[in-house]
Structure 1
Amino acid sequence: MTVRVMLLSPALTDDGRQARFGGNAPLDSAAVRRVQAAATAVPTAARVLTGPSVRCTGTAAALGLDAATTPELADCDWGRWEGRRLADLGAAEPEAISAWLSDPDAAPHGGESVAALGARIRGWLDGLGEPEAGGPVLAVVEAAVVRAAVVHGLGLPAHAFWRIDVAPLTLTELSGRAGRWNLRCGQPL
């Protein structure tokens, strides 16, 4: 069974502008206006899901989507780095940042490694081929989730995760089924 999965990255928030890990900043009024202006470009889907972050649920709400919050689509668990700025951690923990950026199995923050995030998203994505799933899926998810899905979908090595840029309010589409996916990426809304 062919499955169409459309992954929509959330609007940029203050956390993103400051390059914070995770964070829980809500959409500001400018972000809400950008999201609402893009609402007519959002494709229809049989199922609409969202990751549990404030950024994702806020983007889905501003788009007027009736989305089911899906824990499997959560951002990477950043452990003790949650809410901290990359620049600050780079100065305070350069070896830990280096290990995290070079080894997909590393989790110096005590949270989830890139490989563990990839395994979680692989399980979710491959589960979408179930016959009862039916129809296209639209999911508002964090950039890390989009990257993990692309890495799995294309069968890339885990270290390719950091080589994929995901801009805010862009659509990345995977179509196919477990074991064989096609990619259409970076469509702006």
Structure 2
Amino acid sequence: MTVQVMLISPALNAALREARFDGDAPLDAAGIRRAGAVAAGVPEADRYLRGPSERCAGTADALGLRAGPEPAVRGWDMGRWSGRRLATVSAAEPEAVSAWLTDPSAAPHGGESLFELRARAGRWLEALESSADGAGRRVLAVVEPAVVRAVIVGALALPVEAFWRLDVAPLTLTALSGRSGRWNLRCGQQLSPVPRPAV
């Protein structure tokens, strides 16, 4: 059965601006304003979901979505690195960061490896396909950028290393349509702000 899965990456917050590993920080005022400004550009769906992070919850709220939390699309578990700056961790643990960036099975932070993240994202996508019915073929989820990247890598059967070559900007829409083994991708569509009425 053909399914359309639309993924929106959350608005910026302080953690993203400071290049921190996800620490479940909420949106700041600027992120809320930006998400609210593009709310009218969000496509309709049969089901609305979101990652359980505060950033995804705040983005979904600012977009006006009644999206329930979905644990299967939680952000990448960074273990003891969560909330820390990449530059700080790189200076303190250069070998560990190098392993994390080059070995998809490595999890020096004690959280998930890239392989584990991709597998989790793939299981979620497969579950959506198998549970889709006439009323649930269009699913929209607000999820962390790492989850968007992992879904793309798994759906298109790309080498897992391609994960590091994908950029997912804040408040962009990535859409997959099709079914297992035959997904089409539309990525990086910017949600457009509502035009101001002429005075």
TM-score, normalised by the number of residues in structure 1: 0.98
Q: Deviations over 1:106-128 (max 9, x none)?
A: 00001000100000000000111
Q: Deviations over 1:84-115 (max 9, x none)?
A: 01000111101000000001110000100010
Q: CA deviation at 1:57?
A: 0.5
Q: Which residue identity lines up with residue 51 of structure 2 in the other structure?
A: G
Q: Deviations over 1:5-25 (max 9, x none)?
A: 000000000000011111122
Give the match for residue 164 of structure 1: 166
Whether 1:40 and 2:40 are equivalent positions in the alignment is yes
Q: Gaps (5+ residues) in structure 1?
A: none
> 1:131 & 1:35 partners in 2: Cα distance?
30
Matches within 5 A, 1:61-72: 61-72=61-72
Q: Deviations over 1:118-144 (max 9, x none)?
A: 000000001111254432000000000
Whether contact under 8 Å (2:3, 2:132) holds in the other structure is no
Give the match for residue 54 of structure 1: 54
RMSD: 0.9
Whether 1:152 and 2:154 are equivalent positions in the alignment is yes
Whether 1:180 and 2:185 are equivalent positions in the alignment is no
> 1:150 & 1:161 partners in 2: Cα distance?
8
Q: Which residue identity lines up with residue 85 of structure 2 in the other structure?
A: R
Aligned-pair identity in percent equals 63
Is the partner of 1:66 in helix, strand or coil?
Answer: coil
Give the match for residue 88 of structure 1: 88
Q: Which residue identity lines up with residue 17 of structure 2 in the other structure?
A: R
Give the match for residue 140 of structure 1: 142
4+ long deviations beyond 6 Å:
none
> 1:132 & 1:167 partners in 2: Cα distance?
28
Is the partner of 2:130 in helix, strand or coil?
Answer: coil
Give the match for residue 194 of structure 2: none
Q: Which residue identity lines up with residue 33 of structure 2 in the other structure?
A: R
> 1:164 & 1:103 partners in 2: Cα distance?
17
Give the match for residue 20 of structure 2: 20
Give the match for residue 75 of structure 2: 75
> 2:79 & 2:24 partners in 1: Cα distance?
14
Q: Deviations over 1:55-103 (max 9, x none)?
A: 0000001111000100000001100001001000111101000000001
Whether 1:105 and 2:105 are equivalent positions in the alignment is yes
Give the match for residue 118 of structure 2: 118
Q: Which residue identity lines up with residue 152 of structure 1 in the other structure?
A: G
Larger radius of gyration: 2
Is the partner of 2:112 in helix, strand or coil?
Answer: coil
